[in-house]
Amino acid sequence: MKKTNVATAFDLTGHVALITGGGTGLGLGMARCFVSAGARVILLGRRQAELAKACSELGTNAFPLQGDVTQLGDAPALAARAEKLAGPVTILVNNAGVHLKKPAVETSDSEFASVLQTHVFGAFALSREVGRRMVERRSGCVLFTASMASFMGMPQIVAYSTAKSAYLGLVRVLASEWGPHGVRVNGIAPGWVASEMLDKALSGDSARKSKILSRTMLGRFGEPADVGWAAVYLASPAAKFVTGVVLPIDGGASVGF
C-alpha cells in the first residue's frame, strides 16, 4: 500500500481547481489556500475587474475566466475554456451565490427562482459538464459550498436556505453515481464567516448579529481561510476515502445553544 506522509497528504501540486465566484469573499479565500497548497486556480466570475485584481494578488498560478453560471447553456464552453487556460480541471468548487434577505410572504416567484438559478441550476450545469470529464479520466473532486442554512431554520432567507439545502441532495446523489468512477463529491457548510455577503446580511440588524455570536461556541465570526483550508483538505490526498459528506465549518453554531 502506498504511504502518504504529512508533507504530501495536503499537497495539491499538479491539480487545477476551478472556483466559481472566486474573485471575492469565500471564493477568494479558498483560492488563496489552494494556491498555497500548490494548485493552479481558475477564478470564474462575472466581473472582469474583480477577477483581474484577485489573480494579480494570487500570482502566476491564478487564471481569470469571465462567465456567468446562470447561463446554463454556457457550461460546456466554460469547461472547455477553463481547460485551455490551465489544463484539465481536477477540482471543481461550486461557490458562486447570491443572497436574498426577505420575509417569505414578501418573496416573489421571480426572486425565489433567481436565487435557485445561481446556486442550484448553475452549479448543477457546470458540475454535470466538468464531472463528465472527470468520470472519463476516472479522477476528480467536486465541492459544493453549502451553509448552516442547509441544516437550520432561519427567518427571512427562504430562497437562500432552499437553495443551500438542495446541495445536500446533490452531494449525495453525485457521490453515489460518480464514486465508482474515481470522482469524489463533498460539501462544506460555512457558518457565519466575515465577508461582503455577511456584511450585507447583517446590515442594520444588530440584534441578529448578537444572536449569531451568542449561539456560536467559539464566540466569533469565521475567516475565509477557515473555509479555505477545509476545502483544501477535502480536495487533497488526505481525504481520498471521504465522499458524500457535508462538513460544517461554523465554530460550533449548528450544535450550540
Distance of CA 251 to the CA centre of its chain: 18
Give CA torsion, residues 18, 24, 27, 31, to 10 deg.
70
Tell me whether residue 233 is one of the annotated catalytic residues.
no
Give the amino acid at 242: V
Q: What residue has cell string 446533490?
A: 170
Q: Is 203 helix (H, G, I), strand (E, B) or coil?
A: coil
Instruction: List Cα–Cα distances, 168 to 54, 143, 144, in angstroms.
Output: 29, 11, 9
The catalytically annotated residue of 10, 34, 63, 160 is 160
Residue 83 grid coordinates: 481547460
Instruction: Of 30, 63, 75, 23, give the one whose Cα is nearest residue 45.
Output: 23
Whole-angstrom distance, CA of residue 80 vs CA of residue 87:
9
Q: Phi first, then psi: what are they for 47, rounded to 5°?
A: -100, 105
Active site amino acids: 160
